[in-house]
Amino acid sequence: MSGMNLQMLPKMRDSWSYLYVDRCRIDQDGKAIALHDLNGKTAVPCAALALLLLGPGTTITHAAIKTLTDYGCSVLWTGEGGVRMYAQGLGETRSAQRLLHQTRLYVDEGLRLKVVRNMYSFRFQESLDANLNLRQIRGKEGIRVREAYAKASRETGVEWHGRTYKRDDWQSADPINRALSAANSCLYGISHAAIVAAGYSTGLGFIHTGKLLSFVYDIADLYKANITIPAAFQAVKEGLDGMESRVRRTLRDRFKEQRLLKTIINDIDQVLDIGVVPANSLYDVDSAAPSDLWDPEHEAVEGGINWAEGGASE
């Protein structure tokens, strides 16, 4: 079913959020995907899955990658336990509509500032005083984050001495910092999958800037106080044995409770103030359809025809 109609796929909101695997081989198996390890073969319903996280020791075949991307399952290569993220696959849209909108907002300083304010007021769940400048908003946000940590610490009894870790020495970090990193990495993965699935660019960040994943950090930050911070503290409270895996399990429940997959693309649209988006574009039904050609007067003219034959005189 390659080149299939994207409408057949479950929407992002109906998907299972993620599958993390390591130390196994992934290949095509009877037109689907299967994991092979020492114990046997495990089938993966890739069309139902939003995100596949590949940890260390995984091997994946060309055919498997093709099937995964055909079915809109984002593939991310990550470090041990889903911490750190290296590479991405292709999402569930073939239309550039949202990317073009994002770019328009990004290049206009006034519009960009509006998006930044939208993002902060989304986090506060209240509208921000129009008199506050960006610096004051950042300060307000700093206080809110500090309170989120303090609240989670109070509720779970896990001690909190601040967000510190050495990037070059993972094990030296205290458990709660390791749990937070594991949780954030998973959240980055989901945000990344949603951004790519909706057809936005990961590189055009509004608050964050300069990295190819800046927009991923922007979007993930919308949810940290409500999702990853409580989940990480909860997992540490339950003990240190298998903590990283427990963090991810707790997150799966939180994603479900907060209906993250159902709302994340709408939330991104909301902070970018994109209004109503048509459910499907022509390219989702027929990815091989020729794209329009840009025209300064008409915005776009029909592509896939030869303009030497009469079309050019219009």
Partner 1 sequence: MTVIILERVSISLRGELSRWMLEVQAGVFVGTLSAMVRKLVWDYLTTAVRSGAGVLIYQTNTEQGFAMEFCGKTSRRLRDFDGLQLIQIPS
Interacting residues toward partner 1 by CB under 8 A: 16-21, 36, 38-44, 245, 248-249, 252-253, 255-256
- Per the CB < 8 A criterion, the answer to whether 158 and 237 are in contact is yes
Please state, as a whole number, how many other Cβ atoms lie within 10 Å of the Cβ of residue 244.
22
Q: Which is nearer to partner 1, 36 or 208 (CB)?
A: 36
Q: Which is nearer to partner 1, 163 or 249 (CB)?
A: 249
Closest approach of partner 1 to the CB of residue 240, in Å: 17
Q: Which two tokens stand for residue 187?
A: 């959240």
Give the span between the Cα atoms of 135 and 144, in whole angstroms: 14
Q: Which is nearer to partner 1, 43 or 212 (CB)?
A: 43
Closest CA to 269 of 277, 260, 280, 261: 277
Q: Which is nearer to partner 1, 95 or 250 (CB)?
A: 250
Q: Which two tokens stand for residue 4?
A: 């299939």
How far, CA to CA in Å, does 300 sit from each of 63, 295, 296, 297, 312?
36, 5, 8, 8, 13
302 carries a ligand binding annotation? no
Q: Which is nearer to partner 1, 123 or 248 (CB)?
A: 248
Closest approach of partner 1 to the CB of residue 252, in Å: 4
Closest approach of partner 1 to the CB of residue 199, in Å: 24
141 carries a ligand binding annotation? yes
Closest approach of partner 1 to the CB of residue 243, in Å: 12
208 carries a ligand binding annotation? yes
Closest approach of partner 1 to the CB of residue 198, in Å: 20
Give the span between the Cα atoms of 251 and 233, in whole angstroms: 11
Give the span between the Cα atoms of 182 and 188, in whole angstroms: 10
Give the span between the Cα atoms of 163 and 54, in whole angstroms: 26
Binding site membership: which residues?
A: 141, 208, 221
Binding site membership for Mn(2+): which residues?
A: 141, 208, 221
